[in-house]
Homo-oligomer: A and B are copies of this chain.
Amino acid sequence: MTSPEKSQRPFTVALDAMGGDFGPSEMVPGAIKAAQELTVEVLLVGEEGPMRGEMARHRADGLPIRIVPSQGVIEETDHPLQAMREKPRASIVEAARLVKTGRAQAMVSMGSTGAAMATAALVYGLLEGVERPAIGGPILAPLSNAVLLDLGSNVDCRPSQLLGFGAIGIAFARRVQGVQDPRVAILSVGAEEGKGNRQTKEAYQLFKASSMNFVGNVEGADIFQDKADVIVCDGFVGNILLKFAEGMGMELARHLSKMAGPTLPAEAMKRLGGELASLTSVVEQAGGGPLFGVNGIAVIGHGRSRSPSIASAIAMAKRAVDFGLVDAMKLELQAIQDQMRGP
């Protein structure tokens, strides 16, 4: 990630303070950390009692943090659309409304990803040419700076959806990462044009015919070889990869400490294991990722995020706003639409 612009333009974030596995006890300290470190006003969207209680446990006097009351939470197990109807004042819905009405410039949630996507899609609206929001980003940084998407919301994608992911990824790589002419690739099982499944083979032809800087297929290992700046895949594949990376990192750390434990100083080993787990932990590295394809900024983090990751997610939301991510995506998507309609 390039360093954020030094803009001091006022930025307000609506934080879904009821979401996440640990609720207000991590969300509030995360908000405080963000307010201390960034030029940001935080709207804590949540039930007033728990919010006030948690705020009272910290030194937050004078910080630009405000409580915005909400009622209810959409849980991971809820059906997102149904829950939105039944809990119209749920924290995530209130947070999205604060953005829609201009009171905040972005929202951040560690709650149900499905709920955040449904809310953002309905309250913000979708960008033209997008059917469902997508999740992605340089999730394997610093092992790889490639922007990977989709990571879970879109499965059984049509080839044209992969093309849309390409456009969205280009906008992110160009605006947020500062890559001049991002190289786009399709994640597949072989570099050759004919390799892949039906979906990727058809998508290959669409990318080839587009004006994108398309570099062909890349394989699983190529993600770490700087062969492309944006790598698109079906959300089914991306989500499995994302979780596989975390699982493998944790298991490697455990395994190495067991093997090298007797020969290396305990302190050094502990540090290395921590380093390894951290390198492969999407939560710690990215804090969260912006929801792509919606007409506004929503950063979605992992449910098990602790306060530092929450503050990172707020920083990511600020960067996305500063860099004009939504407008950039609109332009890239428009370019595809124009091209597909023909001259």
Contacts and interface: CB of A to CB of B under 8 A. Distances in A.
Q: Is the interface of A mostly helix, strand, loop or mixed?
A: helix
A152 B307 CA distance: 41
Interface stretch (A9-17, A100-108, A246-254): A246-254
A221 B197 contact: no
A211 interface: no
Interface residues of A, number: 53
A155 interface: yes
Contacts of A198: 155-156
A221 B240 CA distance: 8
Contact of A241 (B220, B234, B235, B256): B220
18 contacts: A152-B189, A155-B196, A155-B198, A156-B197, A187-B240, A188-B236, A196-B236, A197-B236, A220-B239, A220-B245, A220-B247, A221-B244, A222-B247, A224-B251, A237-B240, A244-B244, A263-B268, A264-B268
B260 A268 contact: yes
Interface in A225-280: 225, 233-237, 239-252, 255-256, 259-260, 263-264, 268, 271-272, 275-276, 279-280
Contact of A219 (B143, B243, B272): B243
**Residue with the highest number of chain B CB atoms closer than 10 Å, among A144, A189, A235, A248:** A248
A162 interface: no
Interface in A18-55: none
A223 interface: yes
Contacts of A233: 240
Given A197-B156, A272-B272, A276-B256, A247 B225 contact: yes
A204 to B, nearest CB: 14
A69 B140 CA distance: 49
B247 A223 contact: yes
A244 B259 CA distance: 23
A189 B235 contact: yes
Interface string A163-181: 0000000000000000000
Interface string A132-170: 000000001011100000001001100000000000000
Contact of A248 (B143, B188, B240): B143
**Residue with the highest number of chain B CB atoms closer than 10 Å, among A187, A235, A241, A244:** A244
B248 A272 contact: no
Given A156-B198, A196-B155, A263-B268, A240 B189 contact: yes
B241 A224 contact: no
A23 B86 CA distance: 67
Contacts of A220: 239-247
A260 B271 contact: yes
B196 A224 contact: no
A251 B155 CA distance: 28
A143 B255 CA distance: 7
Q: 8 tightest CB-CB pairs across the interface, nearest first?
A: A221-B247, A220-B243, A220-B244, A224-B251, A155-B197, A224-B247, A189-B239, A220-B240
A221 B248 CA distance: 7
A248 B189 contact: no
Nearest to A200: B236
